[in-house]
Amino acid sequence: MKKAVLLLLAVYATVQAFAQSSNLVFYSSGGEKFYVILNGIRQNEKAETNVKVTGLPQPYYKTKIIFEDKALGELDKTLNFNPGTETVFNVMKNNKGEYVCRWQSEVPLAQAAPPAPGQNVMIYTQTAPVGNISYTEQTTTTVITGVPGASANVNMNVPGVSMNVNISDPFYMPPATTTTTYSSTTTTTTSSNNYSNNNMPPQNNAPAMSPGRAHINNDCWAGSTNSSEFDGIKKSISSNGFDDTKLSQAKMIVQKKCLTSNQVKEICQLFGFEDNMLDFAKFAYDWVYDQSNYYVVNDVFGFESSKTELNSFISGY
């Protein structure tokens, strides 16, 4: 009996672990090929335009996108997502012409679409795949063609006189014909596990950016969420009958949108219990667009103890 119970517990734990794992999908809308690095570990052996990583046990990862075309540079981003979901990120150019890794969609794993044709699907690994990271560089070769000198022949035939004159000027250079050709060369790194926990590039001593501030820096370049979209957000949260459901949805939204302190204050007012207001206010502080204005959130609390607790939380953040 004891062995049977232990076996059932083990199976249950395995199912729960699987249920809480997540998938990440990266694709480039412009067709650029890239490598995905999660917590310092390269996931795909070859550069691809669409990469799906499954079985991710954690809710956020330090992520690096390395383009095959070295001229496009690299992207560094901390990705935060909900457990048990498949989240899609678009590697694209923003309105400033800069490459970004932007959140696009999220669905529960049970609703995730099957792999697309040509999609590179792999299980999350903590061991970098064997093989070098290849870069493609464009080189331009200019070939100038011309004749380094010129000569002329003059024949004169006059009755009784015959003349043949040859003139040669070694310093004359006629207009050159310029032909430009383009060639593509590929170079590779010298290490087969270029990005792994045991072979990371040198790090500086600056503290790591928190997930919330990384989200604001990377995704909110266009500004905060406008009032029209925010009205829809409030209606969606209010449609839930229970405070706990409102709280979980509000926490998910604040991680995806670019909310201001006043908008966080308005969301707090949707909860029926002050404990939930305080819980959300603490959580949202890292994700808010304008942290310097966060003092306005204190206005929603009826108890001084709640204000004091929030202020202490922010001071020690």
Task: Give the pLDDT of residue 181.
Answer: 44
Average pLDDT taken over every residue of the chain: 79
What's the pLDDT score for residue 147?
Answer: 47
**18-44: average pLDDT:** 88
Report whether pLDDT(16) > 90.
Answer: no
What count of other Cβ atoms lies within 10 Å of the Cβ of residue 54?
17
CA distance 36 to 54: 13
Percent of the chain topping pLDDT 90: 43
Q: How far apart are CA 193 and CA 225, in angstroms?
A: 41
∠ Cα 180 186 192 (to 5°): 170
Q: Is the pLDDT of residue 232 over 60?
A: yes
Q: Which DSSP letter does residue 47 get?
A: -
User: Residues spanned by CATH 2.60.40 within the chain?
Assistant: 2-132
Mention every residue, 6+ apart, whose C-beta is less than 8 A from residue 181.
141, 142, 143
DSSP string for residues in 63-107: EEEEESBGGG-EEEEEEE--TTEEEEEEEEE-TTS-EEEEEEEEE
pLDDT, one tens digit per residue, over 262-272 is: 999 999 999 99
Which pLDDT band, with edges at 50, 70 and 90, does 200 fall under? very low
pLDDT of residue 274: 93
Indicate if the pLDDT at residue 217 is higher than 70: yes
The yes-or-no verdict on residue 172 having pLDDT over 80 is no
Task: State how far the Cα of 265 lies from the Cα of 299, in Å rounded to an integer.
Answer: 8
* Percent of the chain with pLDDT strictly greater than 70: 68
For the cut 50, the answer to whether the pLDDT of residue 177 exceeds it is: no
Q: Which architecture, in CATH terms, is 2-132?
A: Sandwich (2.60)
State if pTM tops 0.75: no
